[in-house]
Structure formats: C-alpha cells, structure tokens
Amino acid sequence: MDRRLGHEWDEWNGRPLPGGGDFSAAPGLFFRYAALTLVAATAAVAVLLYLVGPRLAALWSPLPKTLWIALGVLAGLKALYLSLVTGSYYSGKNMLPERLLERGPYLKLMNYTSLIARAFGKRDWVEHAAIDIYNALAVRRGRKVGKGELLVLIPRCLSKQALDGVLEIAGRYEVPVFVATRGQLARRVIRERRPRAVVAVACERDMMTGLRDVAGKLPVLGLTMQLPNGPCRDAAIDLQQMETWVKGWVGASPR
C-alpha cells in the first residue's frame, strides 16, 4: 500500500509537540516496553487457550496440555531472544547474525512494541529508542559500499538549513540524494537505483514503517528528525551523525 510520508501525524491537533519535537529516549525505555509486549502477547494466547481448552480436549484429550507446553517453550524463546538483543546492545558485540537481529525479528519486535507504547502515550519516545538500538546494531557490522552504491533518502519537510547540510555532505562524498514524498516513490527509487545501502531521514513514525518495508532487504541506517514547528515542517537533523554514517559506509575522504 502506498502512503504519503507524514500521514502518521494526520491526527495532530496543531499544538506544539512535547520537548519541541525532540523524542530522544534512553534505550532502556524500548527494552521495558518490548518485555511488556512479549508478556502481553503470551498472556493473550494463554487466555485464548484457557477458553478453548475444553473444546480442544473434546477433539483430542492431550491437545490442551501439548499446546500449553508449546506456549511455555515459545515464551522461553521470546525471553531468550530479547535477552540476546539487550545483551548485544549493551555489550557492544552483536550476539546474533543480522538476519536474526536488525534485519530480521527485531524489525517485527519494534513494530509490535510500538503498538503497546501507543496505548500508554509513549509511542514516539519508544520508537526513537528502538531506532537508536537498531542503528547501533547495524553500524557494528562495519559494512562498506562504493560511493554510487549508497543512497540518501530525505523527506521534503526538512528546514532549509538541514537540506543544505544534507546536500553539502552528499556532494562532498559523491553520493546520490533523493527527496521522497510517498512511500511508493521511495521504494521505486530503491528498485531503480539498486543501492547496496541506504541512509534514510524521517520522523520516528515514518521511519518505523520505512524500516519495516526496506531494512529486511538491504542495510539501512535511519536518522530521526527534531520537529520544533510540528510534524512535516522545518524539521532539523543531526548533520554530524549523517556525515559520520556516510563517511563510514563509503570509507572515503570528502572531496
């Protein structure tokens, strides 16, 4: 499904955003909500199994017990996975391959956790923490690509200062830049240019959907924005962080 970038903010009431639109949060916030998400999912399945257990027993008497055991094993695997993600982040060493970490189940965990965080009014902060963790895990892979193999994707809502800064960085490192207005356009330019890596700029809400769509297929680093004037207008970014990522990926000195 195509989506207009910024559509996640359609319910915005026009008032200033908390913290001037800066949703920076400690990584621990995500891990706490991720644990809550896994507990809630397990509890929901347990309630369902409790309710339908008698009917399942009528079909085959050992079935409910078998399913309870399977649920216990699954819960244990979930806890183990979250422990490995947490350990990977805080130890500074990824304990799982990327297909089982930042380009695999972690993407789904981010999105499910976002749903739980939304119910508590903490969506943007939890998403920011989740994206920071994702970036830290991805950067550690030490991937290198050619200048023409890296693509920088930016939204049209950047402030003039931020846009000029992005273009300057892209020009100095000779990497292409594309301004995306819709999710479909972003996916199309990726298909046409076939980059080996992407640096994407977006707010937390759009970044979550973008990572879900793309990060499983090719390496992505996601730079979130500050929204001092509300969503989709005059957004600011950390240009130093962008240059660090671009330089790290292309492995070259600026022109």
| 121-148 pLDDT, tens digit each | 999 999 999 999 999 999 999 999 998 8
Give the per-residue pLDDT at 198: 97
Give the per-residue pLDDT at 23: 97
Instruction: Specify whether 133 is located in the same domain as 149.
Output: no
Q: CA-CA distance, 81 to 45, in Å (whole number)?
A: 19
State the CB neighbour count (10 A cutoff) for residue 54: 9
In a domain, 19, yes or no: no
In a domain, 148, yes or no: yes
Q: Per the confidence metrics, is the pTM higher than 0.75?
A: yes
**Position with higher pLDDT, 17 vs 10:** 17
Give the per-residue pLDDT at 75: 98
In a domain, 21, yes or no: no
Least confident of 6-10, 47-51, 132-136, 160-164: 6-10
Least Cα distance to 35 among 67, 103, 81 occurs for 81
Last residue of a domain, one of 91, 112, 138: 138
Instruction: Specify whether 52 is located in the same domain as 71.
Output: yes
Last residue of a domain, one of 138, 167, 189: 138
In a domain, 18, yes or no: no
In a domain, 65, yes or no: yes
| Residue 107 one-letter amino acid | L
Structure-block tokens of residue 176? 């292409």
Instruction: Specify whether 163 is located in the same domain as 224.
Output: yes
Instruction: Specify whether 30 is located in the same domain as 72.
Output: yes
What is the Cβ-side half-sphere exposure of residue 96, based on CA atoms within 13 angstroms? Answer: 20
- CATH code assigned at 185: 3.40.50
Position 2 confidence tier, pLDDT thresholds 50, 70, 90:
low
Instruction: Specify whether 169 is located in the same domain as 228.
Output: yes
Instruction: Specify whether 200 is located in the same domain as 150.
Output: yes
For the chain, the domain total comes to: 2
State whether residue 158 is helix, strand or coil.
strand
Digit-coded pLDDT (tens) for 159-218: 999 999 999 999 999 999 999 877 677 888 898 999 999 999 999 999 998 899 899 999
Instruction: Specify whether 236 is located in the same domain as 151.
Output: yes
Give the per-residue pLDDT at 254: 65
In a domain, 2, yes or no: no
Digit-coded pLDDT (tens) for 79-91: 999 999 999 999 9
Instruction: Specify whether 130 is located in the same domain as 168.
Output: no
Residue 17 DSSP symbol: P
In a domain, 234, yes or no: yes
Give the per-residue pLDDT at 77: 98
Last residue of a domain, one of 138, 154, 181: 138
Instruction: Specify whether 174 is located in the same domain as 115.
Output: no
Would you say residue 1 has pLDDT above 60? no
Instruction: Specify whether 129 is located in the same domain as 155.
Output: no
Instruction: Specify whether 32 is located in the same domain as 82.
Output: yes
Domain limits for position 241: 7-13+143-250
Instruction: Specify whether 152 is located in the same domain as 117.
Output: no
Note the Cα 162 to chain centre separation in Å: 22
Give the per-residue pLDDT at 14: 86
CA distances from 114 to 44, 106, 209 (A): 17, 12, 11
Give the mean pLDDT of 82-102: 97
Least Cα distance to 151 among 106, 187, 183 occurs for 187
